[in-house]
Amino acid sequence: MIAILGAGSLGRLWAAKLPAGQVAFVPRPEQSAAPLRYRFRPINGPELSVQIPWLTNTESPSLLIVTTKAGDTLAALQPLMPRLPETTPVVLFQNGLGSQQRVAQIWPSHPILAATTTEGANRPETELTVHAGQGETWVGALTPAGEARLRKTVSTLAESGLSVNATPDIFDRLWQKLVINAGINPFTAILNCPNGEILAHPFYQQWIDPLCREISKLLTASGQSPRSATALREAIETVACKTATNTSSMRADRLAGRKTEIDFINGYLARLGAELGIDTAVNRMLTDQVEQLN
Ligand code: PAF
């Protein structure tokens, strides 16, 4: 049985795509026993009706997929990990950085892996999950036990029919996504606009270069592949143009009155700067401004 912790858009996408009958959601406290039912609209083909049971106390999952928000991950894993066999791989799909390292530090003997995905999924209605865009998923190990189970985990996830690949350096992939999120998400949340609209805004134009200079220094100082501030800005703007009409996850959180993931995006970069002795005034300013929106 594959267990999924986090029944948001991404969790529901994996549940709908993995072989029927092999998936269960991890129940929240006081969850009713009735299975989770929703409609699933694939990229091609007719809408499907999906029914996923909740994991019972006696079931021992062979894989745990974690699709909670970064800020909820530790609290959600704490009660579950003691009953999880030490051989069960745990695949973390959180945005940003910081939460993944924390999980690997707390449970170093477990096979802990991190994943990043460009699959697009959303829930325009509570009961409807839409697979909005075909993407790629990269998975890499965070602990030695995770390394030993990387291939098997990738092949299990690939049974979904989604494109899933193993990488020897998941941090490189996580950083690539972090750069994009750090350069788009806080601006969309503060300016309350779709991704593409930030580009012409004076607030974005004032801060994007100093922000990219901070990130460029952080990449080098933390041993990641070096990238110039100009290259970072180009990468951010390419994605902002490609996703011009999208509402970023941070703006969506803000609009829904949910806590944002700023602490794991620009907040993470600000903390890393403090550790490495690199000034991250722009990351701190963006973090503070987004925190004040909540
Ligand atoms: O967080 C998001 O919403 C997305 O990663 C991105 C790339 C900013 C597009 O909306």
pLDDT in tens, 239-275: 999 999 999 999 999 999 999 999 999 999 999 999 9
Mean pLDDT confidence for 10-27:
97
CATH 3.40.50.720 location in the chain: 2-167
Cα separation, 248 vs 237, in Å, equals 14
- Cite the active site residues: 177
The rounded mean pLDDT for the chain is: 96
Rounded (5°) CA angle 239-244-245:
140
The architecture CATH gives domain 2-167:
3-Layer(aba) Sandwich (3.40)
Q: Do residues 66 and 77 touch, judged by C-beta distance below 8 A?
A: yes
Where residue 294 falls among pLDDT bands split at 50, 70, 90? Answer: low
- The per-residue pLDDT for 33 is 84
| Residues shown for the chain | 294
Q: Which atom of ligand 1 is nearest to the CA of 195?
A: 10
125 token code pair? 């209605």
Whether residue 158 has pLDDT greater than 90? yes
| AA identity, residue 65 | I
Centre of ligand 1 to C-alpha 200, Å, is 18
CATH 1.10.1040.10 residue ranges of the chain are 172-293
The preferred substitution site among 173, 185, 261, 290 for testing ligand 1, maximizing ligand atoms within 8 Å of CB, is: 185
Mean pLDDT of 7-33: 93
Atom of ligand 1 lying closest to residue 249 CA: 3
Atom of ligand 1 nearest to the CA of 95: 1
- Supply 108's token pair: 């170093």
- DSSP class of residue 240? H
CATH topology of domain 172-293: N-(1-d-carboxylethyl)-l-norvaline Dehydrogenase; domain 2 (1.10.1040)
Mean pLDDT of all residues in 116-137? 95
Q: How confident is the model at residue 29 (pLDDT cuts 50, 70, 90)?
A: confident
User: Would you say residue 178 has pLDDT above 90?
Assistant: yes
Kindly report which listed range (29-33, 45-49, 51-55, 236-240) carries the lowest average pLDDT score.
Answer: 29-33
Between the CA of 87 and the centroid of ligand 1 the distance, in Å, is 33
Indicate the top mutation candidate among 10, 176, 181 to test ligand 1's pocket, ranked by most ligand atoms within 8 A of CB.
181
Sequence letter at residue 34:
A
Mean pLDDT value of segment 263-288 = 98
> Over 90: is that where the pLDDT of 32 sits?
no
Beta sheet of 48-52, edge-to-edge order? 48-52, 36-41, 128-133, 120-125
CA distance 177 to 179: 5
| 74-to-93, 133, 170, 173 alpha-carbon distances in Å | 13, 29, 20, 22
For residue 149, name the pLDDT band (cuts at 50, 70, 90).
very high
